[in-house]
């Protein structure tokens, strides 16, 4: 065999194996684009784990600031902080959460501990006792999302004086797998 002649292909490799498929040159750019879109979505927070939303709500009888993550990943821990400042003395501050908001979640920590808690009428109610007018009250909920499919949880967090409503906060949480 002359020195400048190509060497024969190894056994079992035919010219068919060396042919380049029609769309082969697009494989790398498409894979790179998919990688960049997924990584970019995660970095922006569209896939959960982004910065928490902090929103202030005002009503005639109370103001509240709620800090929570609107997009959560299933199986992850989450934290919700609620600051309530009543504009009048409250005999029994109640924070009630609609049951659909906590479907598929376990609430592991509530700080401070409620004086009493109940689950009636499709909501979880936590009684914290007396709070003076203008006195800020902070409550923190820690929990975990149980694994399930993609879903959106919606409902209200109610701030009440016993059975008298002070403020209702609309909530919507998107849970990603």
pLDDT at 94: 97
| pLDDT 10s digits, 139-158 | 999 999 886 767 888 999 99
Mean pLDDT of the chain: 87
Under a CB-based contact definition with an 8 Å cutoff, are residues 73 and 111 in contact?
Answer: no
Q: Are strands 62-68 and 77-86 parallel, antiparallel or unpaired?
A: antiparallel
- Burial of residue 107 (CB within 10 Å: 0-12, 13-18, 19+) is middle
pLDDT at 51: 76
Of 94, 82, 81, 88, the residue nearest 60 (C-alpha) = 88
- Res. 3 pLDDT band, cuts 50 70 90: low
């Amino acid at each position: 065999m002359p020195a400048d002649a190509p060497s024969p292909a190894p056994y079992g490799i035919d010219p068919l194996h060396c042919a380049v498929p029609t769309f082969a040159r697009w494989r790398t750019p498409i894979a790179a684009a998919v990688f960049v879109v997924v990584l970019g979505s995660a970095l922006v927070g569209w896939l959960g784990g982004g910065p928490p939303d902090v929103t202030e709500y005002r009503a005639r009888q109370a103001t509240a600031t709620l800090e929570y993550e609107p997009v959560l990943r299933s199986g992850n821990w989450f934290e919700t902080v609620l600051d309530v400042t009543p504009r009048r003395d409250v005999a029994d501050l109640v924070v009630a959460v609609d049951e659909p908001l906590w479907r598929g979640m376990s609430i592991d920590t509530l700080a401070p501990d409620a004086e009493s808690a109940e689950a009636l009428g499709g909501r979880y109610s936590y009684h914290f006792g007396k709070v003076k007018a203008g006195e800020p009250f902070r409550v923190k909920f820690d929990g975990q999302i149980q694994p399930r499919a993609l879903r959106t949880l919606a409902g209200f967090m109610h701030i009440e004086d016993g059975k008298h409503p002070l403020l209702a906060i609309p909530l919507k949480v998107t849970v990603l797998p």
